[in-house]
Amino acid sequence: MNIQRWVGRRENSWKALDALLQKAERQGIKALNATEIRQLASLYRSVSADLARARTQQVGDRLIRHLQNLASRGYAQVYQGSRRQEWRAVRQFILWGFPSVVQRSQGYIALATGLFVVAGLIAAWLAWRDPTFLALVVPQRIIEQVRDRGELWMGSIIGIEPFASSTIMINNIRVSFAALAGGITAGLFTTYIMLLNGVLIGTVGVLVGQNNLAWPFWAFVFPHGSLELPAIFLAGGAGFLLARALLFPGRYRRLDAFKLYGVEAAQLLFGIVPLLVIAGVIEGFFSPNPNVPDFVKYLVGTGLFIALILYLRRCPPNRTEVI
């Protein structure tokens, strides 16, 4: 290889990269327009190739150090800039993206919520009228603890808060993934999960109500339930989005419908997981804490629920209504 000819041919590219890097280092990557950013990425790849070639030839240590310097500076701008873009995208999703996808999916979420509520009301009515139905749903040890000893069972969390909190998170996330995946069964398994959870909460509500423990029970449920239950409803809505793609693809091919609604469902799940993590921490450390008065738990739960609703109703700055 003719070193001088190669250097002469490549030198202008190195100078162009150096100029772009100086601008980015001095003013920040945002100072570059779209064309300059693409040029920076292209020149970085080419100088990396030049460095690899220079190391195999007798080009001199000075030139190799110069190319190494350009390559390392280019790497810092290209990949650190990408990471900044990724974090910016995460921030935008948290601020606006998740509320937007919830608003677009509100019909499916309403269906999941309705199934849960109807199942809970029917189960509560049956359990109130027929104790044998209650015994079919609630474990006998819990019935005996509530009915015979007048105690709630959540006290077992005290003393093992970290373990309980992590276990609760994992279980709730598992249920949410199952509700989403249930969409590929044409929504049948998603429907089952919504109905089952409604039956459980309705039946347990009757049990504690009949034994004068409703106030402390719901005080326990309110703080974490204000986030946990809506998250489960959102997961159910995600499952029904997939069921929609399978059953009613509309003008799309079924595969294209799965891609379209699958993205929406995945975005719902991305937003659900942080909610369940927060709810798990609250359920493990705050909800069962006997030192926190019950009315404070009710206030915290109500405040969290209102804050969640206000957050989910947010619209991007350039929008005034949900499309």
Structure confidence at residue 85 as a pLDDT band (50, 70, 90): low
Give the mean pLDDT of 67-91.
73
Concatenated DSSP letters for 163-196? Answer: HHHHHHHHHHHHHHHHHHHGGGGTTHHHHHHHHH
| Contact indicator for 198, 117 with CB cutoff of 8 Å | yes
Lowest mean pLDDT across 70-84, 90-104, 119-133? 70-84
Alpha carbon 86 to its chain centroid, in Å, reads: 15
Give the mean pLDDT of 194-205.
94
209/225 Cα distance (integer angstroms): 18
Is 315 a residue whose pLDDT tops 80?
A: no
| pLDDT of 91 | 79
272/282 Cα distance (integer angstroms): 15
Angle at the Cα of 73 from the Cα atoms of 72 and 79, rounded to 5 degrees: 85
Q: How far is CA 181 from CA 261, 269, 277, in A?
A: 13, 11, 20
Half-sphere exposure for 28 (CA within 13 Å, toward CB): 4
| pLDDT of 235 | 95
For 240-264, the three-class secondary structure string (H helix, E strand, C coil) is: HHHHHHHHCCCCCCHHHHHHHHHHH
| Contact indicator for 180, 238 with CB cutoff of 8 Å | yes
Is 83 a residue whose pLDDT tops 60?
A: no
Concatenated DSSP letters for 153-172? Answer: SGGGGTT-HHHHHHHHHHHH
Lowest mean pLDDT across 28-37, 158-167, 173-182, 222-231? 158-167
The full length of the chain comes to 323
CB atoms within 10 A of CB 12: 9
| pLDDT of 149 | 86
The token pair at 239 is 């499952």
pTM > 0.85: yes or no = no
Task: Supply the mean pLDDT for the chain.
Answer: 86
Give the mean pLDDT of 18-25.
85
Half-sphere exposure for 120 (CA within 13 Å, toward CB): 16
Is 84 a residue whose pLDDT tops 70?
A: no
Give the mean pLDDT of 206-234.
93
| pLDDT of 82 | 53
For 231-267, the pLDDT digits (tens) are: 999 999 999 999 999 998 888 888 888 888 888 899 9
